[in-house]
Amino acid sequence: MRGWRLTAQRRVVAEVLDGDHVHLTADEVHARAVSRLPEISRATVYNTLGELVTLGEVLEVATDGRAKRYDPNAHQAHQHLICSGCGAIRDVHPLGDPVAALPADQRFGFTLSGAEVTYRGLCPDCR
Amino acid sequence: MRGWRLTAQRRVVAEVLDGDHVHLTADEVHARAVSRLPEISRATVYNTLGELVTLGEVLEVATDGRAKRYDPNAHQAHQHLICSGCGAIRDVHPLGDPVAALPADQRFGFTLSGAEVTYRGLCPDCR
DNA sequence: GCCTAGCTTGGACTTTGTCTAAGTCAATAC
DNA sequence: GTATTGACTTAGACAAAGTCCAAGCTAGGC
Ligand SMILES: [Mn+2]
Ligand SMILES: [Mn+2]
Ligand SMILES: [Zn+2]
Ligand SMILES: [Zn+2]
């Protein structure tokens, strides 16, 4: 390998995925990327998102059976609170380690690596 | 409405979704249903699964970005432990109510209705 | 034995994501 | 400076999962 290139396309995807409480689908990332770089392709957005996930810079979040969401807040462990009405997503920080709530006799010999918690409810606007 | 009919198709779908630790995809339900009732259609399987979910008899579980899984163990609150190697799914019962771990200042005015926890790890066979 | 609401079916269609062949770009060698 | 060449991008084909619809079938009520 002669090296990794920071291309205009990769820069634009990284710029779109900047900020807090950002949980965009690949298509949303593509739409925003297109507005900055009109000819960027879907394939490149998917490729770049995959690279960012592999690098640990972005998390893939599968909260419903629909499109995955891409979360740049990868360096701080957190969980998600989702409005059942409008789909709004918030990052939340529960007390303690969720893995600790699973007793040994409920681990069935598994080596646990983590746990994802999705809290569901109605946001103030939807209530 | 003149009534709801217990058709052969609905009975077969219900029979396929029987037992513990059952977490089949719609296509898997269809495949097993076809072996009992060869001409049952995909559309009817999807329709019936949707009805069972609406009735609260079956849970929809979205654990990865792929196909949803249908879980007949709807009457006992539980969470899921998934092997990152082979995808095996176990029902598990953590201590306490997961919702209780989210402090008031992390609820952002939401009215919480529940929480889903996905524990990840490697099963004994995959380790 | 009809009528008709309820049900099922096959296939078209949509959404989300992957893959590939062809072409473009840019770092290095010369 | 130019050629080389591996890295990258693109459009579009393809695939998986799910939804929708028009047409036809079925069974319960009369
Ligand atoms: Mn997040
Ligand atoms: Mn289950
Ligand atoms: Zn809302
Ligand atoms: Zn395993």
pLDDT, tens only, B26-55:
999 999 999 999 999 999 999 999 999 999
- Any domain includes A3: no
What is the count of structural domains for chain A? 2
Give the residue carrying structure tokens 């995955």. Answer: A68
Q: What is the mean pLDDT of residues A5-17?
A: 95
Does the annotation place A84 within a ligand binding site?
A: no
User: What confidence tens digit (pLDDT) does each residue in A42-79 have?
Assistant: 999 999 999 999 999 999 999 888 999 999 999 999 99
Distance between CA atoms of residues B7 and A32, nearest Å: 49
pLDDT at residue number B65: 76
Q: Which nucleotide is nearest to A65 (CA to C1')?
A: D17
Domain that holds residue A60: 8-71
Percent of chain A with pLDDT over 90: 88
Which residues are bridge partners to A92 per DSSP?
A79
Q: Does residue B82 have a pLDDT over 70?
A: yes
Q: Provide the CA A94 to C1' D20 distance, Å, integer.
A: 41
pLDDT at residue number B71: 97
pLDDT at residue number A10: 96
My answer on whether B62 and B90 are in the same domain is: no
Identify whether the C-beta of residue B49 lies closer than 8 Å to the C-beta of residue B13. Answer: yes
My answer on whether A64 and A41 are in the same domain is: yes
pLDDT range class, residue A4, cuts 50, 70, 90 = confident
Tell me the HSE value of B4 on the side-chain side, using a 13 A CA sphere. 7
Give the residue carrying structure tokens 């072996």. Answer: B35
- Which chain C positions have some atom within 7 A of a protein CB? 5-11, 15-20, 26-28
Q: What is the mean pLDDT of residues B96-100?
A: 96
Say yes or no for a CB contact (<8 Å) between B102 and A92: yes
Q: What is the CATH number of the domain that holds B19?
A: 1.10.10.10
Which chain B residues have a beta carbon less than 8 Å from that of A101? 94-96, 98, 101, 117
- Any domain includes B115: yes
My answer on whether A15 and A60 are in the same domain is: yes
pLDDT range class, residue B2, cuts 50, 70, 90 = low
Question: Which single residue has its CA nearest the C1' atom of nucleotide C20?
Answer: A43
- Which chain D positions have some atom within 7 A of a protein CB? 6-12, 16-21, 27-29
Neighbours of ion ligand 3 (CB under 5 A): A 83, 85-86, 88, 123, 126
My answer on whether A57 and A111 are in the same domain is: no
The per-residue pLDDT of chain B, averaged, comes to 94
DSSP label of B105: G
My answer on whether B97 and B113 are in the same domain is: yes
Nearest to B121 among A103, A112, A124 (CB): A112
Q: Suggest the residue from B95, B106, B125 to mutate for an interface test with chain A (most A CBs closer than 10 A).
A: B106
The per-residue pLDDT of chain A, averaged, comes to 94
pLDDT range class, residue B121, cuts 50, 70, 90 = very high
pLDDT at residue number A20: 83
Identify whether the C-beta of residue A105 lies closer than 8 Å to the C-beta of residue B90. Answer: no
Distance between CA atoms of residues B84 and B19, nearest Å: 23
DSSP label of A77: -
Burial of residue B43, with CB atoms counted within 10 A of its CB: 0-12 exposed, 13-18 middle, 19 or more buried: exposed
